[in-house]
Copies of this chain bind each other. A is one copy, B any other.
Amino acid sequence: MELYIVSDIGGTQIRVAAHDSSTLSCIDQKKIATQRQGQYPIQRLINLIRDISKDHILKAISIGVPGFLDLEKGIILNCPNIPGWVNFPIRQILTEQFNVPIYINNDANLAALGEWKYGIGQGHKNLLYLTISTGIGSGVIINNQLLLGTKGLAGELGHTTLEPNGPLCGCGQYGHLEALASGTAIKAYVEAQIESGRSSTLSGSINFQGNDIFLAARNGDSLAFEAYQRAGKYLGMAIANFLHIFNPSIVILGGGVTQVGDLLFKPTESSLRDHVIRPEYIDMLQLTKSSLGDDVGLQGALAYLVLNNGNQII
């Protein structure tokens, strides 16, 4: 069988799926830990692709990477979760290994494309996708095209300043959306408040995680509840900015943090309504959860491959 291989590389897992290149149906999926002592992530990826495609003919590979890419050169400029991938020539390495077309892009860009082509974004010409997770990633579809910009560095909506004197962001700047509304930001806020003497049921626990904050909020912990309210306030404010900038017809929220549901969505919607400058921006707007869930990255990589292989330039 002739195969398209798609991959979603995360800080924790590398996922790979094999699709029949004529029907596009998925024939196999595999995953593996990204890091393991003594093995480079790229070698683990290559092994996984070899493994899933053995006994078949490989036609093309498409990969989503959680980092900054130079799309022209096919280089990963920086990938915060994989420390060795700085100015990393991933396309060249994979081309040498497999000698087929290699498509790479930012994982959140591909997620936007996945929702637009196969998910809840179908039929929307202007779409905004945000993934609220450890960080905040994003992808934008404008007029049925993926927003890439001059060098492919567009769509970094998590790295826009909302509070110039706000908390430090992972990128080194202050008060970015990511530093105010990501999972990391929610945890940092709870920690800082406890540190400053606020009481919380989380005070005693060592190294609590996002799920602990969620459970605490659900059980009436006012600090935990407030942490989500605060994240939602900033997220709604940021989405209002993005509506004024892009005027999309759908905003899709994905990523682990959105699993808390109304705890985040309610303050987000309320803040969004408070911050839009004209009702037309939200009159027909769909604000919704991701429909593809964990598969959004793989589906996006498939969409990207199909669109590029068919010479429809995205």
Contacts and interface: CB of A to CB of B under 8 A. Distances in A.
Interface of A: 68, 70, 77-78, 125-126, 142-143, 145, 147-157, 159-164, 171-173, 237, 240-241, 244-249, 275, 277-278, 280-281, 284
A281 B68 CA distance: 11
A232 to B, nearest CB: 14
8 nearest A-B pairs in the assembled complex, by CB-CB distance? A149-B247, A154-B247, A160-B241, A156-B244, A153-B247, A150-B249, A171-B277, A159-B244
A173 B142 contact: no
Given A142-B149, A160-B241, 7 more contacts: A70-B280, A142-B142, A147-B246, A150-B284, A157-B244, A161-B237, A171-B277
The residue among A147, A172, A247 with the most chain B CB atoms within 10 A of its own CB is A247
Contacts of A173: 275, 277
A275 B175 CA distance: 11
B142 A147 contact: yes
A19 to B, nearest CB: 28
A277 B240 contact: no
Contacts of A248: 149-150
A145 B125 CA distance: 14
The residue among A148, A151, A160, A281 with the most chain B CB atoms within 10 A of its own CB is A160
Contacts of A148: 143, 247
Contacts of A246: 147, 149, 154
Nearest to A177: B241
The residue among A126, A249, A284 with the most chain B CB atoms within 10 A of its own CB is A126
A78 B153 contact: no
Contacts of A143: 145, 148
A277 B247 contact: no
A68 B149 CA distance: 26
Contacts of A157: 244-245
Contact of A278 (B147, B153, B161): B153
28 contacts: A68-B278, A126-B149, A126-B150, A142-B142, A142-B145, A143-B148, A149-B246, A150-B247, A150-B248, A150-B249, A151-B280, A152-B247, A153-B247, A153-B280, A154-B245, A154-B246, A155-B245, A156-B245, A157-B244, A157-B245, A159-B244, A160-B244, A161-B275, A162-B162, A162-B164, A171-B277, A172-B277, A245-B245
A71 to B, nearest CB: 10
A161 B159 contact: no
The residue among A70, A149, A164, A284 with the most chain B CB atoms within 10 A of its own CB is A149
A143 B154 CA distance: 12
The residue among A159, A245, A247 with the most chain B CB atoms within 10 A of its own CB is A245
Contact of A161 (B240, B281, B284): B240
